[in-house]
Amino acid sequence: MNRHPLPMVYLADDEEVVRDALAWLLRSRRLLSEGFASAEDFEAMLDARPGRGADWPDAPACLLLDVRMPGMSGLALFERLQERGLGDSLPVIFLTGHGDVPTAVSAVKRGAFDFVEKPFSDNALVDRVEQALQISERAIEARQQLGQRAQRMAELTDREREVMNLVIQGLANKLIADQLNISVRTVEVHRARVFEKMNVKSAVELSNLLRDG
């Protein structure tokens, strides 16, 4: 049985005391964390990954992100993460001072998961983190299923793809054979191979698989 990587909470805050406090809080709820002293450090971690993090994260994750930091701001990092397409798989919770609340509200409207004003309630923050991790898990599963489907599609021959397209239109084997000018038996063989490669057992299941993607 494959062991899935454990959820990870990333912390990007220029104050070490804040990162340490958050790490301790998360440990108390049995959550792993990794801290970064700047937005640049976090982005450098992404850039260092194979494919610049194209298939990352591969386990549920979220980012606790300070709005104001020296150098690149938390808001600027958030925008760059959105450009990378990480909005769903890496939910962002902004940590804000009172003066940054309007900025954080604006970020939430543009796709951030939430914002928490300092000083924050420990339990309320970790509750939101756990909710964000659930959203991340669903997004990663959807991305992986899409990738698996694309891989299966790539294994189809041109003829199998032709047969598949007619199968999902609801055509019977005889009509498919007439349209492609092949024998019914050949249609049956291609149809069986399509089902096997796409890991489905019926035309309805095949149609649902392609529609959901």
pLDDT tens per residue across span 14-49: 999 999 999 999 999 999 999 999 999 999 999 988
Cβ neighbors of 163 (< 8 A, separation 6 or more) are 176, 180, 187, 190, 191, 194
pLDDT in tens, 119-173: 888 889 999 999 999 999 999 988 888 877 878 888 888 888 888 989 888 888 9
How big is the chain by its Cα radius of gyration, in Å?
23
- How does residue 213 score in pLDDT terms, banded at 50, 70 and 90? low
Peptide bond between residue 5 and the one before it cis (omega within 30 degrees of 0):
no
At residue 194, the 3 state secondary structure works out as: helix
Measured in whole angstroms, the distance separating CA 13 from the mean position of its chain's CA atoms is 23
Under a CB-based contact definition with an 8 Å cutoff, are residues 179 and 171 in contact?
yes
Whole-structure pTM value: 0.73
- How many other C-beta atoms lie within 10 A of the C-beta of residue 20? 13
